[in-house]
A = this chain, B = another copy of it.
Amino acid sequence: MNYRIKKQEELEMIVVLKHGVTEQQMRNLIAWFKDQGVDVHVSRGIYQTVLGLVGDTSDIDVDLLRMLDIVDAVKRITDPFKKANRKFHPEDSVIEVGESKVKIGGGNFAVIAGPCSVESEEQIIEVAQKVKAAGATLLRGGAFKPRTSPYDFQGMRAEGIELLLEAKKETGLPIVTEIMNANHIPLFEEVDLIQVGARNMQNFELLKELGKLQKPILLKRGLANTMKEWLMSAEYIMAGGNENVILCERGIRTFETYTRNTLDLSAVPMLHELTHLPVIVDPSHATGMARLVEPMACAAVGCQADGLMIEVHNNPAKALCDGPQSLTPEQFAKVMGKVRKIKEVVDECE
């Protein structure tokens, strides 16, 4: 693979040996590194010696190194993700979704809208038509719902997907819905963009299975996960061969209680540096409050998000779940108007 060739030139890791390490101990360690296909540059100090590892160190376990008797400190210089790394893939990835090839990333702005849960054919079709009219480019709707309590509504499951497909037929909008179980993959055959929810961001078995598909994956950030862990989860999918990954910031857990989560918008420009993958923002789940969706959607556009994911329900007060964070179609249309204007200014300034 191309990135491996580039990687060979990189100083990837530094290992500081302890004072008093013998020549033989050092030679043994260097031999072991070379066995792993890694080149070693030795820098001797009076008191300590530093080894610089050059080449692909992705198989070297930093924790293991740290515990060796002769090692004082280890520092990884490069990031552990590779396929997702902008360093080895400087161009923005543009992900195409559905038969209509809706583009996300690289200057293509996408708006995913729809209800938290699919509830009925009328509901999903009505919402689909209205969000399309207001400018949404994809339709979302929950079929399988991850709920903290086993006693809460768990979604319409397979039937929900059927109804989404009806809405797609009706409106032409590609559909997005969440998968919770690799066994359900066959049910997702006509789903255009498969969502992995926050609680499954590190469900590595699921990620591996999704890596075998060619369908785009919308990977939400885990509740208390770092960007590095998030990119490593994207790497799981990409390492399997599916490079069509879109990242979705949806708020992280903090000590704050007035808002449900804390939307980490600085992740957007930061990720644009770290990775070539598109980054979209979900202000609905992040804040848990419909009236914060407009300002946070505008803020997301202001800091260069590649898209938005917004909950819209024809009757929020009766939504079977997450009603308090849903917009009405009318509110959504208003948000879209403002978002479009800010997007124009932002694009102009580039």
Q: Is the interface of A mostly helix, strand, loop or mixed?
A: mixed
CB-CB under 8 A for A295 and B302, given A11-B48, A226-B256, A239-B151: yes
Q: Is the Cβ of A149 less than 8 Å from the Cβ of B232?
A: yes
Who on chain B is nearest to A294 by CB?
B269
Instruction: Identify which of A47, A266, A268, A287 gathers the most chain B CB atoms within 10 Å of its CB.
Output: A266
Q: How many copies, total? A: 4
**A60, chain B: closest CB distance, angstroms:** 10
CB-CB under 8 A for A274 and B252, given A151-B59, A204-B147, A232-B148: no
State the CA gap A323–B62 with chains docked (Å): 11
B-contacting residues, A33-90, CB 8 Å? 41-48, 50, 52, 54, 58-59, 61, 63-64, 66-69, 72-73, 75, 77, 80
> For the side of the interface on A, what is the size category?
35 or more
| Stretch from A158-166, A168-176, A334-342 at the B interface | A334-342
State the CA gap A147–B147 with chains docked (Å): 25
Residues of B with C-beta under 8 A to A223 = 224
State the CA gap A342–B343 with chains docked (Å): 9
State the CA gap A38–B301 with chains docked (Å): 45
Residues of B with C-beta under 8 A to A63 = 288, 321-324
**A323, chain B: closest CB distance, angstroms:** 5
Residues of B with C-beta under 8 A to A288 = 63
Q: Is the Cβ of B317 less than 8 Å from the Cβ of A292?
A: no
State the CA gap A349–B252 with chains docked (Å): 29
Q: Among the listed B61, B80, B146, B348, which residue makes an inter-chain contact with A204, where contact means beta carbons less than 8 Å apart?
A: B146
Q: Is the Cβ of B262 less than 8 Å from the Cβ of A266?
A: yes
A sample of 11 cross-chain residue pairs with beta-carbon separation below 8 angstroms, ordered by A number, consists of: A59-B152, A61-B153, A64-B323, A181-B182, A224-B253, A224-B255, A298-B346, A299-B302, A301-B302, A302-B303, A341-B348
> Closest 5 CB pairs between A and B?
A43-B43, A224-B224, A302-B302, A67-B324, A298-B302
